[in-house]
Amino acid sequence: MERQIISSANVKPSLPTPQTLRRYNFSMLDQIFPPMPIPVVFYFSDASLDDPDSSIPQITDHLTRSLSLILTRFYPLAGRATAEAEFIDCNDAGVPFSVARFRGLTLPELLATPRPDLLLPAPDCGVSAVAAVQLNFFDCGGVAIGVVFWNKAVDATTVVAVLRAWGAAARGGHEAVCPNYMAQYMFPQKESVPAQLGSTADIVKIGKSVVRRYVFSASATSSLESKASNVADPTGAELVAALMWKCFMSASHANGKSTSFLTQTIDLRRRAVPPFPKECFGNLQALAAATCPNDPSPPLGSLVAKMRESAAKIDGGYVDRMRGDGGLMGYYENLRRVWIGYSEEFDVLPISSLCGGGVYGVDFGWGKPAWFSKCDSGGEAEVWNRVWLNDTRSGGGIEAWVILEEEYMKVFERVEDLRGLAIVDPNPLSSDEVGLFAKL
């Protein structure tokens, strides 16, 4: 396999950002989140139907032009963050955009053992850049678009909005997504804000991590529902999250921990009263927290109930307490109410879900992606246990990315309920879900 970087440039907004918008202040909620990357990759198996090399200039030009168009609206992404992370200088420096050619490799071959980290822009591609892109071409005519966003500036909802807007512009669509920048005024910046509890700063460890992908078909989630009959209308995401927690409890107990602490990422846009516009730019998320002793076989329904109870605390009152000049005191009050009983001795498992977020609606003119992935490759490093959930391409199932310490994974993957329901690390390009799950 040979990766060749063909070109690198900064894509700037098609129109200059007005002087009145040159400073984008981080909101208090932005300040809370750690300065970590959000790396994602979209895979398109038949984007280039001709010879890949002859298609590269045309596709590159098409995508950079459409990105330039949407940056006039998402102008903070083309700016540069200050060293103190107080604001973004919206100076139109541009989004670093590199183009890579993989020779001797097809997209199906790469995805037989996925390495999404190879498809992302280099970490140093743009000092203080808010977003960066790497466009990847393969021998088969497949294309992968790797994008890294800075979590200090955006959350997952904003990421999807940006990518869908970019896709619409690439298709020549007229449905313009107009971001709303009200968060910086509704939750004004504070002089000093601590990192959010449950962030990587609290739970990072040194060791070796292992990544597994567990894919649940619609019939598998229906089977889980039969095991949670004591809760009303559980969603597929709730059921899979509860199963992930149950398996983690077994691993946690085997590694000498008595209690597990689950955190769920909650979108504040939908919890506010009245709801905030879905186009609100920035970090509008909170962590709900639930505690459970490491029971060797907890009822699935009871875990779903605990998750719902903790998520219900993130309500309109929670949002209102953080608004305005007194928002920092409201933030501390929210911590007291939501994280009551938390101990550093607990084993923490953060779960985030993109289910229903519309990532498979990102269309650059080649139809919906063959696959979408977050980017965790495991290995020796600073590690922290966590789970990402997303819809499958067909929308009928759930895909769970599980990143655990090596010793935890040895126990986690042996839990009978998990082995009997999920397919482990299937080839993402196996589009026939009926065939994929036939053996269930």
Q: Does a structural domain hold residue 150?
A: yes
- Indicate whether 432 and 309 sit together in one domain: yes
Residue 191 belongs to some domain of the structure: no
- Name the least confident of 161-175, 189-203, 212-226, 355-369: 189-203
Residues 175 and 222 in one domain: no
User: Could you tell me which residue, 75 or 141, shows the higher pLDDT?
Assistant: 75
Both 259 and 168 in a single domain? no
Quick one: which of 143, 180, 44, 156 has its CA closest to 388? 156
- For residue 297, what are its two tokens? 């076989």
Task: Please state which of the ranges 19-28, 234-243, 394-403 shows the lowest mean pLDDT.
Answer: 394-403
- Asked whether residue 217 is assigned to any structural domain, the reply reads yes
pLDDT band at 55 (very low <50, low <70, confident <90, very high): confident
Owning domain of residue 181: 2-186
Per-residue pLDDT tens over the stretch 8-41: 999 999 999 999 999 999 999 999 887 788 999 9
Q: Is there a domain that residue 195 lies in?
A: no
Res. 199 pLDDT band, cuts 50 70 90 = low
Lowest mean pLDDT across 166-175, 349-358, 424-433:
424-433
130 with 265, same domain: the answer is: no
Residues 162 and 284 in one domain: no
What pLDDT is recorded for position 37? 86
In a domain, 377, yes or no: yes
Residue 286: its pLDDT value, please? 94
Share of the chain above pLDDT 90, in %: 66
Rounded mean pLDDT of 256-282? 95
Find the CATH number of the domain harbouring 315: 3.30.559.10
Question: Looking at residue 424, what is its pLDDT?
Answer: 92
| Same domain membership, residue 280 and residue 138 | no
Under a CB-based contact definition with an 8 Å cutoff, are residues 157 and 265 in contact?
A: no
- Decide if 193 is inside a domain: no
Mean pLDDT of 78-87: 87
Higher-confidence residue of 352 and 175: namely: 352
Together in a domain, 37 and 103: yes
Which string of DSSP letters, residue by residue, matches 316-383? HHHHHHTSSTTHHHHHHHHHHHHSTT--TTSEEEEEEE-TTS-GGG--SSS-S-SEEEE----EEEEE
| Candidate from 105-119, 154-168, 323-337 with smallest mean pLDDT | 105-119
Is it the case that residue 431 has pLDDT exceeding 50? no
162 with 207, same domain: the answer is no
Indicate the pLDDT class of residue 380, thresholds 50, 70 and 90: low
194 domain residue, yes or no: no
Of 396 and 376, the structure prediction assigns the larger pLDDT to 396
Would the pLDDT of 410 be above 50? Answer: yes
The three-state secondary structure class of 285 is strand
Question: What is the rounded CA–CA span in Å between residue 407 and residue 324?
Answer: 45
Report yes or no on 337 lying in a domain: yes
Estimate to the nearest angstrom the gap between the alpha carbon of 368 and the chain centroid.
18
Alpha carbons 289 and 49: distance in angstroms, whole number:
48
Q: Single out the residue in 136, 152, 186 at which a domain terminates.
A: 186
Domain-terminating residue out of 186, 209, 224: 186
Start-to-end CA distance of the chain, whole Å, equals: 36
**In the chain, what percentage of residues exceed pLDDT 70?**
90
The pLDDT score that the predictor gives to residue 440 is 28
Query: Where would I find the beta strands (DSSP E) of 62-176?
Result: 80-81, 87-89, 95-103, 131-137, 143-150
Structure confidence at residue 193 (pLDDT) = 77
The total domain count for the chain is: 2
Q: 152, 186, 220 — which closes off a domain?
A: 186
**Residue 438: per-residue pLDDT:** 31
The rounded Cα 104 to chain-centroid distance in angstroms is: 30
Does 252 lie in the same domain as 357?
yes
Residues 46 and 162 in one domain: yes
| Pick from 250-254, 366-370, 431-435: least confident | 431-435
Res 221: pLDDT: 92
Check whether residue 46 and residue 115 sit in a common domain: yes
User: In terms of domains, do 238 and 103 share one?
Assistant: no
Per DSSP, the chain holds a count of helices (H) and strands (E) of 15, 17
